[in-house]
Amino acid sequence: MNDSRDIRGRSMNSSVVELSAELCPDIPTLVAYQSGQLSAPDSEQLAGHIETCRLCTSTLRDLVAGPMDPFEAKLLRLCGGKDSIRSTKEPPYRQLEARALALALGDTLPPNVPAGDTTDFSLGFTGVLGPYTLQDVLGRGGMGIVYRAEHRTLRRPVALKTLYGGVEPRLGSLLRFQVEGEAIARLDHPNIVKVYDFGESGDQQYLAMELIDGETLSKKLASGPLECDHAVRLVHALAGAVGYAHDQGVIHRDLKPSNVLITRDGVPKIVDFGLARILRDAPRLTATDAVMGTPNYMAPEQADGRVNDINEQTDVYALGVILYETITGGPLFAGDNKLDILRLVRVGNIISPRQLCSNVSLDLEAICLKCLERSQRDRYRSAHELRQELECVINGTPVIAKRPTRWQLLGRRVRRRAPVALAVLLVAGCLIGAVAAWMPKLVVSTVPNGESESVRRELEAELDKGRPATLVGETGYPKWFRWRAGKDSQRTHIEPDGTFSAEMIRPHVTGVLELLPDPRTDRYKLTAQIRHDVGGSGGFVGFYVGHRSYPREPTDIQIFHEIRFNAVTASAVAGLTPPRDPLGAKGLIVMPKAGATIPMALMTQLMTDTIDSSAMGAHLNIEPGARLTALGPRNGVWFDVEMTVTPDEIVAQLAGSVMRLTRQQLTADGFTLGRNLTYLRVNHPDDAVLHNLRPEFAPRGGAGLTLYPNAAASVRRVTVTPLPVDR
Amino acid sequence: MADNPVQVNGRPESTSASWLERVRNRDVQAWESFVRLYSPLIFYWCQKCGLPAADAADIGQEVFQAVLAGIGKFTRKGSGSFRGWLRVITRNKVQDFFRKRTKIFGGDGDAGYDLNSIPDHLNSNDTFEQDEERILYQRAIELVLLGYRETTQQAFLRVVLEREDPSAVALDLGLTVSAIYQVKSRLLRRLREEFAGLIEADFE
């Protein structure tokens, strides 16, 4: 084709495309053009010519109608026809794609598979167990596998639960198994799953139960809290069943939402009554309590290992946790790991339900908290008593929990104001567990309303005078605060050492806690101390300045500059080694190696406070600092943070590392990852606000704390100091 | 190599090599193109093996992690298609997943997870290869069309994928015929430059 002739017989070298109005390209060049094989500049130049050249246009018409080039033919063969290409907003692989994209950004999103599923115990599956034929696996609990099975002679369908494969049968446990098994099999209540049969085959113990068509309460709660009325009726029914079992001398010991089945007709039924006790002596089971599942529903006496104190009120406590979770939709205690949760159970620092869900009545809150009292004698004496109280709520008659609990609340508030004394008390309480009289009562944090107009004015008045304003003191809540993002997925409390702590409790939701809406000057310094208490590989925490909102439906676009770090967890992402130049002008970013440390970074974030399809988030630039060694959860290490903001730059210091973003980098054109903004626009083609967004650096803007999903941090000594202009 | 679409005027674009190089150099844009192009295919492979959608996201993340970890190690000596390599990674990850599941749930009693059938599903054959290519090219076209106006998208789809007469499409959409040729040229060029190499990539 190098020496081909064009249609008018002129010779032309097609590898060098020279075009002018007078000179038409040869046919191979036109062929290459219309099938997209010319380089971009050549194509654009040629397009300009074709627009004005009728000859080329008509030649193209013939060429397009003629034989196709192989690539085009392939596209037609593979994707031809109407509607072959249809862009759906929510394709099924969206989640997969989102998680893979996040990998390059050094964040892992939490996986779906619960960590417990990797527990390594297997069961030889024979299809037959005693008189039962196994048909299907229904699920796996902490104690064994549940099968759909059928009694071969009775033809009765059952749920058959194997109790831990391969356990050496010991005389003691076998005896207990039989004796207690009889008591359990005698239970007959509409809200208790009927146990038909205990038995063993080989060394495999099993129990056969009523087969329920329905789902567990835990699954139901995964989609959100229940209406208060519904929750009250549910726990009322459960309390009735638990009371009945107590009357028969059986304590459940392991009540939790996953042990409550809801039938298709909405009838709650409790499973696994008394099983925890039967299995107490199974050797491998007690050796690793962790196998038993979450300690979230353990009463303090169980968390302390005071086995002899376990009684009916232990079940009352668990009913209280179930009530708490059904009305608030969140866990009573959220922690990084089981030990963490156990610690929280022992300390008993509970956020009152009304702080999380304003629909909860005072009466219902009082009942819930009375169940959750640390000391057994402060709880309801029996499940029946709890049931009667809930009945009063249903009927609208006065409850007995109300007055005393409110008196106690008053007392607790006093304690909250003397946190150091409380800490001593708590430590004493934990250490000298035997001295029951010293046991502190339940601690209920009452979250103050942070948005006090007068406090904000006081802070601003100080700043206007050029004086430092303290946003968070040595201990206690911030002087002023409001959640700009993640309000429904956070909780705050005062740590035993008196410091303020905030945590994000749901996956995917990032928290932005504003501590000051406006520093009143464009030159200032923010100083703070922060302790990173909990966080997974994506669970960063940090401080931000220069927060701006761009109004948009359903939620604003927020842009701010933050210094963020992770001192708890090293990255779990297997990735590439960090580049020599960690952040070139092309916007390369650091991909941490497996088990590597995560670098801290000063970055500009764009995000929205939503988790639906309108949600968006991107780094607009990133300036990495030193890498922090993972210290693990509850490491107790305080980091000094300093952010100096002027109209020319933001300089952040953390753990001896200095990061800087200049004004040039902070303008729309200077964003090193401005491409991220382009991607957002492509993914949200209809978002007018996003498309018109020209983010510019404004040093004056909100300042506060950021918390990434499932992260918790304590902060203190947060101060904003205006800087003189001549600095 | 008459039908090698990445050869243009005798100049090999060698997109696969440059793409591999770019990911090795931690070019985020190269990574994102790769993820966006291949996510539907990995999802499809997972579904072929009977994985529920929710688990596919987990497996997908592991596959991409493995790519990130393994791509640096690739020597030019290895042969075979990039897609084949990816298919093997996916199959291994899915097998690991089922192995884990089997350990937990026990044996072949767990309907829907048929461990033995997996290798067959992901063994390559002609129809299978064609399905894979279809998924990749469909996604590539979607990605290339993103960001263009509706009329531009329509012009491309109707002229290239439905073989409609350019003049009629131009009249219909209120564009000039030369604009239609321009759209066709430009989008085909982007498909070749940005994705064809990535789809056909071989380890040389």
Return the CATH number at B78.
Answer: 1.10.1740.10
Closest Cα in chain B to A134? B109
Percent of chain A with pLDDT over 70: 72
By C-alpha distance, the chain B residue nearest A65 is: B165
H helix count then E strand count, chain B: 10, 2
**Is B188 within a domain?**
no
* Residue A87 to residue B142, Cβ atoms within 8 A: yes
User: Comparing C-alpha atoms, which of A275, A280, A276, A290 is closest to residue A120?
Assistant: A290
Residue A269 token pair: 């039924």
Q: Do A586 and B27 touch (CB under 8 A)?
A: yes
Gap between the Cα atoms of A594 and A575, Å rounded: 6
- How far is B143 from chain A, CA to nearest CA, in Å? 9
Mutate to test the interface with B, among A89, A96, A109 (most CBs of B within 10 A): A96
B185 inside domain? no
Instruction: Name the minimum distance, in Å, from the CA of B183 to any CA of chain A.
Output: 9
B138/A35 touch (CB, cutoff 8 Å), yes or no: no
Interface contact B188-A36, CB threshold 8 A: yes
CA distance to partner chain B, nearest, from residue A136 (Å): 6
User: Which is nearest to A130 in space by CA: A202, A211, A210?
Assistant: A202
Q: What is the pLDDT of residues A605-643, one digit of tens each?
A: 888 887 666 778 777 887 888 878 778 778 889 999 999
Beta-carbon separation of A93 and B192 below 8 A: no
Those residues whose C-beta lies under 8 Å from the C-beta of residue A100, and which sit 6 or more positions away, are: B35, B39, B60, B61, B64
pLDDT of residue A141: 55
As a whole number, the mean pLDDT across chain A is 75
Q: Do B28 and A51 touch (CB under 8 A)?
A: no
pLDDT band, residue A114 (cuts 50/70/90): very low
Q: What are phi and psi of A244, to 5 degrees?
A: -60, -45
| Structure-token pair, residue A230 | 């519904």
Domain contains B121: yes
The reply to whether residue B161 touches residue A685, judged by beta carbons under 8 angstroms, is: no
Cβ distance of B103 and A117 shorter than 8 Å:
no
* A500-504 and A469-472 strand pairing: unpaired
Domains and CATH numbers, chain A: 1-72 (no CATH), 126-210 (3.30.200.20), 215-282+293-419 (1.10.510.10), 453-461+470-721 (2.60.120.560)
- Residues of A in Cβ contact (< 8 Å) with B39: 93, 96-97, 100
Q: What is the per-residue pLDDT for A338?
A: 64
Q: Which residue has the higher pLDDT, A443 or A549?
A: A549
Instruction: Kindly give the confidence (pLDDT) of every residue in chain B, 204 residues in length, as a single tens digit, with 9 standing for 90 and above.
Output: 333 333 223 333 344 556 777 776 666 667 778 888 999 999 988 888 778 777 888 888 888 888 877 776 654 445 567 788 888 888 888 888 877 776 655 444 343 444 444 444 455 566 777 888 899 999 999 888 887 888 889 999 999 998 888 989 999 898 888 899 999 999 999 898 888 877 876 654
Check if the beta carbon of residue A260 is closer than 8 Å to that of residue A415.
Answer: no
Q: Please tell me the distance in Å from A77's CA to the nearest CA on chain B.
A: 9
* Chain B residue with Cα closest to A100: B61
pLDDT band at A671 (very low <50, low <70, confident <90, very high): low
Supply A533's token pair. 């208490």
| Residue pLDDT, tens place only, A317-372 | 999 999 999 998 888 887 666 667 777 777 777 777 887 787 888 889 889 988 99
**Contact assessment for residue A38 and residue A17, using Cβ atoms and an 8 Å cutoff:** yes
Residues of B in contact with A291 (CB under 8 A): none
Number of domains in chain B: 1
- For the ranges A148-162, A479-493, A570-584, the one whose mean pLDDT is highest: A479-493
Query: Using CB atoms, which residue from B61, B64, B109 is nearest to A111?
Result: B61
Q: How far apart are CA A639 and CA A531, in angstroms?
A: 6
Determine the distance in angstroms separating the CA of B56 from the nearest CA of chain A, rounded to an integer: 7
Where in the sequence is the domain holding B19, given as residue range(s)?
Answer: 11-147
Closest of A336, A275, A322 to residue A144, by C-alpha: A275
Query: Quick check: B32 and A679 CB within 8 A?
Result: yes
- Evaluate whether residue B110 is within a structural domain: yes
Which of chain A's residues have a Cβ under 8 Å away from the Cβ of B27? 586, 588
Distance from CA of A320 to the nearest CA of B (A): 32
> Residue B25 domain-assigned?
yes
Contact A47 B178 (CB under 8 A): yes
Please state, in angstroms and rounded to a whole number, the distance separating the CA atoms of residues B6 and B15: 7
- B26 and A576 in contact by Cβ < 8 A? yes
Considering A64-78, A113-127, A345-359, the range whose residues carry the highest mean pLDDT is A64-78
Interface-testing mutation among B102, B145, B160, with chain A (most A C-beta atoms within 10 A): B160
Among chain B residues, CA nearest to A588:
B27
User: For the residues A95-123, what does the mean pLDDT come to?
Assistant: 46
Residue type (1 letter), A272: D
Q: Where are the alpha helices (DSSP H) in A105-144?
A: none
Alpha helices in A643-687 (DSSP H): 674-683
Chain B partners of A588 at a C-beta cutoff of 8 Å? 25-28
Strand partners, A503: A491, A712
- Spell out the alpha helix ranges (H) of A222-333: 228-247, 275-278, 283-287, 300-303, 312-328
Query: Is residue B119 one of the residues assigned to a domain?
Result: yes
| A701 close to A497: Cβ distance less than 8 angstroms | no
Q: Are strands A443-445 and A349-351 parallel, antiparallel or unpaired?
A: parallel
Residue A36 in this model has a pLDDT that exceeds 80: yes
Looking at residue B81, the DSSP 8-state letter turns out to be B
In a domain, B175, yes or no: no
Cβ-proximal residues to A591 (8 Å cutoff; 6+ apart), any chain: A103, A104, A106, A573, A575, A576, A578, B26, B68
A87–B145 CB contact, under 8 Å: yes
- The identity of residue A649, as a single letter, is E
The whole-number pLDDT of residue B16 equals: 52
The dihedral built from the CA positions of residue A579, A583, A585 and A587, taken in this order, carries a sign that is positive
DSSP symbols for B105-160: H-GGGSTT--GGGHHHHHS--HHHHHHHHHHHHHHHHHHHHTTS-HHHHHHHIIII
Closest CA to A385 of A361, A404, A401, A374: A401
pLDDT-wise least confident of A48-52, A161-165, A432-436, A470-474: A432-436
Residue A343 CB: number of other CB atoms within 10 A? 17
Q: Which residue has the higher pLDDT, A269 or B53?
A: A269
* Domain-located, residue B82: yes
Cα angle value A704/A705/A709 (rounded, 5°): 145
| Closest CA in chain A for residue B148 | A682
Which chain B positions have a beta carbon within 8 Å of A41's beta carbon? none
Shortest CB distance from A125 goes to which of B72, B107, B162? B107
Separation between Cα atoms, residue A14 and residue A8, nearest integer Å:
15
Sign of CA dihedral A185, A189, A194, A196: positive
Q: How close A45 gets to chain B, by Cα (Å)?
A: 11
